[in-house]
Structure 1
Amino acid sequence: MATGRQSEKEDLQKNYGSLKGEKETLGKENEALQKNYGSLKTEKETLGKENEALQKNYGSLKTEKETLGKEKEALQKNYEIIKSENERLGKEASSEVGFYVAVAAAVWIFVCFACHTARVKRETKKLTREKEGLLEQNENGGLLEQNESLKREKETLGKEKEDLQKNYDSLKIVKDELGKQNGGLLEQNDILKREKESLVKDCEELQQDRNILKSEKNKLGKENGGLLDQNETLKQEKEKVEADFEELRRKTNTCGYVLDREWKPITEACVNVTLDPNTAGPRLTVSEDGSRVRFTGERSAEWPSVLGREGFTSGSHYWEVEVGEKGYWVLGVSTHPHEKSIPEKPEKGYWLVRLVKGKTCTALSQSRDQILNLGKICKVWGVYLDKERGRLSFYNAETRFHIHTLECSFPGQVYPIFSPGSHDKGPLIINTKVKNV
């Protein structure tokens, strides 16, 4: 921030210097224009005086011309009078004296007229020359236009001068503000300098602590190296034991605790199974939300059933069923979408686990039936269908123990199947909130 203000201040100072130089140049040009304007004004005044003098001279010459014209007219009248008198005398007397007198009078008149004519010509030439001089001076009227142009330029320069003065005043205000800001920045700079010195000291102390920690870290690293080797060995042994345990459990199909890395993908495949009342046996009652089914008829040996609304053609799917304290029930999958009961001895298309009298739990499939030796019947069962791998597994959902797996190839579409039996009224409940125990 301080660097930006400093550069802004330098730019303003440079701009101010350039404006100041332009102002001085314009001042000098203004002074030269003032001098030129003064000289032109003096010259204009001189020309005006000469013009006035010529006007007066022209007026006097004009008056004199008019006087001469009047004299010419008077002489012309006298000439006519003398001529008529001469004619009259010539008629009355033909003496030689009268003739000479008439001739002398005529000569005198001619001489006076010739002198007057010459004088008029001289005055006319003089007036012509003065007129030409006035015309030349009038051509110099361009100087007046130049003077007007210079006057306008002077006004423009005056306005520019005022603008420069305003810019100068604003720059001065900005300079004052920058000076104040500079003072504050100097104070901040002093504070930052003291903080920097304090940070340098702290950094030196931290560097010392870092060197101490580095030496301790190297020492611990050496000690840790052996522990890491031991840990890696134990990890490999653990993986081997887990693999051996999984292989043994798969071969023996016995109960065993499911590890986290196996349980997580199972519960992530959880689906919300909804019971389809259209597939329910006639003596079964399905709840409105499709999450419960119970037997409501008379006790019998049949296994009335109901299917899930959606079937599965691929992928992995997991759901949980709460059986509670019921003594009779059947869970599993089926490929028979239209059957509403499960045969006593299921054949092709059924993969089930069935509980009878609350103690005998049997895994049923087309290939074979297998009694499951369970110390205690769990209350919440997890069912995991892996259609690609051809496996249907059952789990104790409360303890995460694997109970049994049926392996086969599931053809076509399979449906979750449920039977609450026909010996008690307790419901089977689909668990919609699966917990990752």
Structure 2
Amino acid sequence: MSLDCGRKPEYPKELGFRVQIFEKKVDSYKKMTKKFSNAVEYIKHQAGEAEKKIKSEFERLHNLLYLEESKRLEALSNDEKDMINSMQRMIDETEKDIAKIKELIETVKKEMGNEDLPLLKNFQNVKRQAHWVEPDAAFLFDSLINMGKHVGSLGFNIWNDMKAHIKYYPVVLDPNTASPWLSLNADLTSMVESSERVTVPDNPERFDPVVFILGAEGYRTGKHKWDVIVGDNPKWILGVCKEIVARKKKFTVSANRGVWALGLSKGVYTVHTDQRTELTVAQCPEKIRIKLNMDKGEVSFWDGGRETHLVTLKHKFEGRMFPIFGPGLHTTPMVLAPGKIAVHTS
């Protein structure tokens, strides 16, 4: 066996290809490093925004607690003054009675010091004067401060009064899933078209290029309900989706893609299951209520303002299901409505 000395070996060429591949890999890694560095700055931005929001909310709650404290201390002070004034009046009246009784005592003693004949003549008159018909001094009911009213179950009563100043949202938005063309409010309860593409990391959870966003919490069991104010927005999609729904490519909204939804486009309401079905709606709802029953495998849509049922979709949901929102690109925001806070005691 012999080598053809007139022919150049292929080894350098093959190794050159590998070098090119590695150089491209290096470039790719450098770009990824840049993205990671940008993500670090974004995480710092997130932390800063969260810190500002937390401090702002605690300051608001501190102010509310301070006002609540002032109100309760003022009520206690007023009760104290009223009780003391009432007790002082009783003291004054009792001291007046003591003075009157002492006068009677002096009168009777003076008459008792007279000779027998004058005392006998004046006895009936003295007897009438020595008669006392005023009631004895005594405590009245509710003379003391009602301690139960002021300090009984104090923490609970403060919290119960505070709930009027606190909003509860059954669902809040997950900004890490938001399309770069969406802008969210600080409370994560409102979404609207951004005037320009927002600079955010291209993390795997984020929808791009499709304009969607998910709720922050997924559900495996139980009943869940949330209201979304759509107003007069001409195009939107609302519903639930699987956690594995596609994020980085356009897709048709359907159960085959892991989405069960109701949508509005060009004046037509459409139910999105395995196929699209037009839904006749008597009056255009401004608030859509979504009820998810994981145990029964149902998601239903309601006109939240009129409390009327629109449609129910059935499926044996598996894994976690997330609220999904497609607000469309409009200047009018799509808003999550706060839920009712109810206190149950037993």
TM-score (norm 1): 0.35
Which structure features the higher share of helix residues?
1
Higher relative contact order (CA 8 A, sep 6+): 2
* Structure of larger gyration radius: 1
- TM-score for the superposition, normalised by structure 2: 0.44
